[in-house]
Structure 1
C-alpha cells in the first residue's frame, strides 16, 4: 500500500449501514434487540466486516465486540471509536449502527491509506446500549467503566433468565467480568444522529456535543381508597388518580421553569401513568407514575428530583392519600465531553469545509460511561425532523460520511498531538 491521505468511502459506508439494517424483524422494522437471535446475526455480520477490514476481532468478558488496528508504538493507549448495534423495538437504522459503521470506515480509511498511527485504534460495538429486557441500558460500556455491579447480573428478563447468563450466552464471560474494565484508553469518540432538530433547522453539518445529560428515573406510587364513582362525595374521596395527575402536572410545569434558568439543558417526562383498579366507575385506589428527569447540571438534577419527591408528599396530604413508594429506579450522572477532543473535532470539521456548532445531548449514550475512564467526545449528524426510535428515522448518506470524516480528522490530530507531546 502507498502512503496517502486517508479518505472516507461514502458509498461503502452507506452500503454497510443498509446491509446491517436488513438484519431485522421483518414484521417490526427496524428491530434488532440485544440478546436475541437477530442481535447474534448482526454481531456475526460485524465480525466478518471487521475481519475483512484487516482488524483483529475479539469479544471481551462483557460481550463487547472489538476490531483492533495496531499502532506503531507498542504500549500506547488505545483510541477507541464506536457505538452500539442493538435497537429499541421498531426503532431505526441509524441510532447506534451509524456510529459503529462510521468507526469501521475510519479504521478502513487508515489501513487502506498505508498510514499507521502511533496509537492502536479499536472499533467497538458496545453491548446493549438501549434499555434491555433486563431493565438496564449501556451494559457493555458500564462494564468497561467498572460500573456493571455484581447485583446487576442477577436482574431477570421476562422469561426469568439472569442478565449474567444472557451476557455469557452472547459470548461474554461474567466469571471474569473484571477483565472488561479498561484503563488503557487514550480517547473515545462516538458518532451519532442528533435525535433532535437543531442541526437540520440551522443547516449545520456537524454537532459537537458539550455534554451528555444525567438521567434519573423515579417511581412514585400513591395509595388511596377505592370507592363507587357515583356514591362517594367529592369531599370525602381519597383519589390516588387525582394525586398522580397532579404530580404529572407539577413535573411538566417545573421542568419548563427550570429550563429558563440558564443552567443548561433540562427536561422531564412522565412516561408511565397507571391507575388501579382502572375501571370507569371506581375511584382509583392506586396511582403509579414513573418520571424521567434529565439535566446537564448535576446539582440541578438532584435538586429537581428532591423537589418531585417533596411535592409528592404535599400532594398526598392534600388528597388524603399516602405515598406508598418513592424509589429511584436508575441514576446516571451528567458527563461532560472532553474540551481538547471537542476542539479537535471542530478543527477536523473545518478542515473538511464543514460547518459545526456546539450543543448538548439530551439522550444517554455509551460515551457517558466511557467518559469515566477516558477523555470522550461525540459527533452529531443531522437527522430528518429529529425523528429517532421510530422506523422513519433517517439521515442522509453525505451527512454520515461528513461525520465520519470529521472523526477521522480528529483521530489524526490526536495522534499527531501525542507525538508532539
Structure 2
C-alpha cells in the first residue's frame, strides 16, 4: 500500500481511536442512542471538521460531513456506514466504512483534487437492531421508509423512537427533509463477515445484492400424553414434526443453493415445545425460521419449499399444521451494475484482486438503493468473525478497500451512473 492514494496509518489510528470509545466492561460496545454512542458521534464530528468537512445532523439523525464540489447543483457522491455496534461487538463492522469514507475525503484534500460533485461521508443512525425494535433507522429515514408507526415504537422506559431520534439531534417532525433526491451514487465499505476473501487470498469482494430476509413461524399441534404410557406408534408428537421441519428447512435451502442461481441460507433459530416437561409427549411445537436469498425468485422458491415440507411433515407425523405465517419480509436489494463495474475497474487499476458475492447480512445500502444507485465493497476479516470482540481486519486490508473507494469516487465524478439503467 506504499503507493496507495490513502494514508493507511491515519486511517488505522482513527479506527483504533473510535474503538476505544466503548463500554469499558464489555468491549467493543457503542449501542445506538446511548451516552457512549453520542460520545463516539462527537469524536466523529470533530474528525469530520478537522478534515474540512461541513458537519450536520439531518432530520433522521444521520451524521453527515460534506465536501463541496465544483459544479453547483450537481448531485452528491455518498460514502458511509454506521458507528453503532451490537453488544460486545467488534471494531470494524460499521466504523471501517465510515472512516474509509473520511479517509477518501482527506485524501482528496491532500492531493488537491476538487471534484465536480460534492462528497458526503455519512454515519447512519442505528444500523444495528436497536432497543426500539428497529434497525437501519437513519437509512430508512433517508429513503422515506420511516413513518409514524416506526416513530411510535418504544424502547427502555417507554421512550418512543421519535423522541430518541430528537434526543440525538434529529428532527422527526421534519422527517421529510431527510429524504434525498440529490444523490449521484452511494458506496459502502464493510468487512465481509465470512471467509471467502480470506480463504482465497483476495483483496475485495464486489457485492451483487443484499439478500432478502423472510421470517416464518410454524406451529404444529399434536396431542400431549404421558411419556411412559403413550405407545410409540400411536403418538401425535409435535416435537417430532418440528424436528423433521428443522431438517427440511436445511435441505430445502441446500437444494436451492446447489442449483447455482444465487446465495441462499435458512436457519431455524427458535424451537419451543409445550408443555415442556420431560415426562410429557409435546402437544405443541413452534419454530421460527430466518430465510435469506439473493433474488426475489429464490426467496419465493425458498418460502414455497418450506411451506410444502411443513404440510407434508404434518401429514406424515399425524399432527396438525396449526399455523404457517410470514412474520416479516424484506425483498433483496440489488447493487447497481454500473457501480459494481466501477468498483471492479478501480480495484484492478490499483492491483487489487476481487471476486463477486452476495451479502447475507443487511446493510444501510439496502435502503439507500431505493433512492440512488448503490454498491458495496467487502474487505477480508479474520476467520469470518464478526459481531464479536475477535472481529479483525489488517491495516493493509482496510487501506486497500479505502483506496478502491477513492479511485471509484474519482471515476464516478467523471462518469456518474444513470439511474434508469439499473431498473
TM-score, normalising length: structure 2: 0.93
Counterpart CA distance in 2 for 1:309 and 1:48 is: 52
RMSD: 2.0
8 Å CA contact 1:6, 1:115 repeated in 2: no
Aligned partner of 1:362 in structure 2 is 360
Counterpart CA distance in 2 for 1:167 and 1:230 is: 56
Aligned partner of 1:380 in structure 2 is 378
Deviation at 1:19, TM superposition (A): 1.0
2:59 paired with 1:61:
yes
8 Å CA contact 2:252, 2:305 repeated in 1: no
Aligned partner of 1:392 in structure 2 is 390
Go from structure 1 to structure 2 and tell me whether the alpha carbon gap of 1:61 and 1:6 turns closer, same or farther (over 3 Å shift). Answer: farther
Of 286-295 and 327-336, deviating more is 327-336
8 Å CA contact 1:6, 1:113 repeated in 2: no
Name the SS of the counterpart of 1:259 in structure 2.
helix
Counterpart CA distance in 1 for 2:146 and 2:277 is: 41
Counterpart CA distance in 2 for 1:70 and 1:183 is: 17
Go from structure 1 to structure 2 and tell me whether the alpha carbon gap of 1:202 and 1:166 turns closer, same or farther (over 3 Å shift). Answer: same
Deviation at 1:320, TM superposition (A): 4.2
Deviation at 1:97, TM superposition (A): 0.8
Deviation at 1:13, TM superposition (A): 0.5
Aligned partner of 2:421 in structure 1 is none
Deviation at 1:216, TM superposition (A): 1.1
Go from structure 1 to structure 2 and tell me whether the alpha carbon gap of 1:6 and 1:258 turns closer, same or farther (over 3 Å shift). Answer: closer
Counterpart CA distance in 1 for 2:364 and 2:228 is: 52
Name the SS of the counterpart of 2:258 in structure 1.
coil
Aligned partner of 2:132 in structure 1 is 134
Name the SS of the counterpart of 1:20 in structure 2.
helix
Name the SS of the counterpart of 2:286 in structure 1.
strand
Within a 5 Å distance, the mapping from 1:172-191 to structure 2 comes to: 172-191=170-189
Match of 2:39 among 26, 38, 41: 41
Counterpart CA distance in 2 for 1:314 and 1:158 is: 43
Deviation at 1:312, TM superposition (A): 2.5
Deviation at 1:368, TM superposition (A): 1.4
Structure 1 unaligned segments of length 5 or more: list them.
none
Aligned partner of 1:221 in structure 2 is 219
Deviation at 1:326, TM superposition (A): 3.2
Counterpart CA distance in 2 for 1:61 and 1:321 is: 52
8 Å CA contact 1:6, 1:110 repeated in 2: no
Structure 2 unaligned segments of length 5 or more: list them.
418-423
Alpha-carbon displacement from aligned partner over 1:232-267 (angstroms, at most 9, x marks no partner): 333443333222222111100111111111211111
Name the SS of the counterpart of 2:346 in structure 1.
helix
2:367 paired with 1:349:
no
Aligned partner of 1:151 in structure 2 is 149
Aligned partner of 2:302 in structure 1 is 304
Counterpart CA distance in 2 for 1:280 and 1:160 is: 38
Match of 2:330 among 332, 343, 351: 332
Alpha-carbon displacement from aligned partner over 1:154-211 (angstroms, at most 9, x marks no partner): 3333543322222222222222222221111100000011111111111111211122
